[in-house]
Structure 1
């Protein structure tokens, strides 16, 4: 649902957030695949506002860079001195002097805000014809929060802070959520009159409501369906709590859509991830970024996938995958590391203690164990022997190796790139391949074995190895004598 009548969204994101005790601005702390600010911007995106203004102050350059990378349509507006939420709103409106119509004001540290909640607020504001509408929440424990005082007709008369509240007002459980939608002209008029006669010497946005009520303007309040939506985030403990709530929401939605999550307590999925029905997420799974998991795939246990696509029916077990494409019916792991540029086609296998980077593995091909495949193309139906290394780096440049289809490479091979192994070719175990191998040929690139008899007795006398060798020679001599005696009877 879009709301083309919304003229602007103003996100207040200028504070440092000292309780976070971090060099990173508070609104940029990540949870669930986005920054706190990113979650707020995602919630307001369906409004299709003509202007999205983000008030920045502390760490302004970092916040502006983040916006340029993740929300280029949002415009940073600098609040040189952080003189309160009312001052921040005034700075934003001054940046668009000809702005007319409804303006949404929202804090940048409310990562659990949902687009449905914002949409309901805007719809209620429009339907009632209010000059200002405040988002509220009914909570079990309102201590420390501003109470919403309503008139008999349901209109909002005031937001009363706890220190100023009467006993009757303290009993009110409906509180201010810090999100407003109001007429731009009315907001400007009220903000011009907001004073700073308080303990902090700051201009508060809450005072706007009282000024508009005093002049007879219609002010309303819309309760959030879920009070959790409006929770802010001021320190690392609250960040962890919001992260857990957000993840629980994501997992609940996935399970309702047909995804099996074996252990929600140990499974973490970003809001930017997609998972198809009948997929199975085992305990200890982390799905991050733009990862997608198709129907029928199994991920985990103990797997982390970042910006990785998993095809239908694939299995990924105890693996770490970043920027990889895992095709249908592919098997990965356990203990595999897929790095960016890895593409595994249908039915391929990357097994135990295998690392891949910028590697394409063809349909049905296998890299079963103990190997490194970097800067390589492997055709269809080939098998890469255990303990194989694709030697791709010469200290300055990376080089490519090509393995054809239906090739069989021996254990403990090294392919010194650039090199090509033809279709149907074999390479012998222990070979260091430095030249191309024609299709159907067998490449042997190893020294001829020679045995130096008696070396241990001469060079390692008295060791366990020497004693074991001497005993073995004695046993062999005895066996030979017995055989000779029996043969003469």
Structure 2
């Protein structure tokens, strides 16, 4: 059966007090609306329409990679009005449409799948997601009769008996598309808020003798984010879920509460992660790695048996059995080989470092191709910028670069070469050569005394 989804993402969110549209605030490193879109993909819903309003261009920009379409809700006149704005998307379609909230990122794909299956298998005209609360104050109530869903009443419109109901509407639904379109023409804004409620569709369907079902889930999954406090609560819930999943898969987290792992991160078994690590984006970490405290790794691929200490790695690749840090900075588009050593206060920028190469401390390598088996002394600088352009340096296999060397790009250093400490290299060093590029030392006898600079 054909399935599609609408994601409500038009609100600015006054209580969150931000210039950024509410649905673009991040939970575990990803925009809330993108969490919801990605959940839809996991249950094989490919046709997704995002209903946008405030900050529409920015929402489009941040969701453009998700291959979705958009409907514009220029005025926020309620959830029913939002869905009305997507009528052109729904016209001519037959099957099921799921409706979800772009500010509710905690819904699990298993729950969405259960909601869809219940709707389709039971032949419902509508199926809603609900939760049972001890105190449902502020939430729309699900009113049942003989255990059947009769209607949904917004809290502000409840009478005394309806306020006693404990089952709350999670504002997530499945509808038969054709029946939803028919009902949207009948809803009105005759209520305290003067808005068009999507929940009124349930009452219309029931009055027409249609079947309405409900799936009860944990309240935690249904939480919508309307403030910074709720944003922090959602962050904590999702972080706990993510960390639990990794621990169940064989990863050791020394202190889960102090470890921040993005939802899309993959980690191999027997890897040990100390507190203070922030692992973001689509990072992949192999098996038997050790991440000592306080590193940030973003959109990078870390192979197996790698050790990282207090370093930053962004959009780069680290090979097997390599050590990084402490206090190293691996900038985007860098590839570090196997059995390499990137030590303290080393910065690598858009460079390839070969297998078994050691860059142990206090060195900058930018826009370079470095071979295998090389050794860099401390204080080495690849001078890759001439004031106008970035230039490339090539260093061959088994080369030794002495301390305080400047390699002025573009320059080529061949295999099996030596560069003397303190050299500034501007010309090619051919294979097997020793390069010395510094002034010859001379001592001026008695110079200190003649200048009167003797310390007394």
How does the TM-score come out when normalised to structure 1?
Answer: 0.90
5 Å matches for 1:125-274? 125-152=119-146, 154-224=147-217, 226-274=218-266
Asked if residue 440 in structure 1 is aligned to residue 435 in structure 2, the reply is no
Identify if the C-alpha distance between structure 1 residues 408 and 51 changes in structure 2 by more than 3 Å, giving closer, same or farther.
Answer: closer
The equivalent position to 1:311 in structure 2, one of 303, 309, 312, is: 303
Q: Following the alignment from structure 1 to structure 2, what is the Cα–Cα distance between the partners of residues 67 and 355?
A: 32
The equivalent residue for 2:6 is 10
> Which deviations, in whole Å up to 9, do the C-alpha atoms of 1:380-436 show, x marking residues without a partner?
111001110001111111111122211111111111112222222111111111111
Q: Following the alignment from structure 2 to structure 1, what is the Cα–Cα distance between the partners of residues 280 and 419?
A: 39
More helix by share: 1
Q: Following the alignment from structure 1 to structure 2, what is the Cα–Cα distance between the partners of residues 436 and 58?
A: 58
> Which deviations, in whole Å up to 9, do the C-alpha atoms of 1:454-473 show, x marking residues without a partner?
44444454xxx622xxxxxx
Larger mean Cα displacement after TM superposition, 142-151 or 46-55: 46-55
The equivalent residue for 2:32 is 36
The equivalent position to 2:117 in structure 1, one of 117, 123, 135, is: 123
The equivalent residue for 1:66 is 62
State the secondary structure of the residue aligned to 1:95.
helix
The equivalent residue for 1:378 is 370
Higher-Rg structure is: 1
Q: Following the alignment from structure 1 to structure 2, what is the Cα–Cα distance between the partners of residues 71 and 48?
A: 14
Identify if the C-alpha distance between structure 1 residues 199 and 163 changes in structure 2 by more than 3 Å, giving closer, same or farther.
Answer: closer
Contact conserved, 2:276 with 2:293, CA < 8 A, in 1? Answer: yes
Identify if the C-alpha distance between structure 1 residues 110 and 419 changes in structure 2 by more than 3 Å, giving closer, same or farther.
Answer: same
Q: Following the alignment from structure 2 to structure 1, what is the Cα–Cα distance between the partners of residues 305 and 452?
A: 56
The equivalent position to 1:20 in structure 2, one of 13, 16, 20, is: 16
Q: Following the alignment from structure 2 to structure 1, what is the Cα–Cα distance between the partners of residues 79 and 319?
A: 50
> Which deviations, in whole Å up to 9, do the C-alpha atoms of 1:287-320 show, x marking residues without a partner?
1111110001112310000111111101111000
Identify if the C-alpha distance between structure 1 residues 77 and 148 changes in structure 2 by more than 3 Å, giving closer, same or farther.
Answer: same
Asked if residue 294 in structure 1 is aligned to residue 289 in structure 2, the reply is no
The equivalent residue for 1:321 is 313
Q: Following the alignment from structure 1 to structure 2, what is the Cα–Cα distance between the partners of residues 223 and 405?
A: 63
Give the length in aligned residue pairs.
456
State the secondary structure of the residue aligned to 2:382.
strand
Deviation of residue 255 (structure 1)? 0.3
The equivalent position to 2:325 in structure 1, one of 333, 338, 341, is: 333
Q: Following the alignment from structure 1 to structure 2, what is the Cα–Cα distance between the partners of residues 199 and 454?
A: 97
Asked if residue 412 in structure 1 is aligned to residue 422 in structure 2, the reply is no
Contact conserved, 1:37 with 1:108, CA < 8 A, in 2? Answer: yes
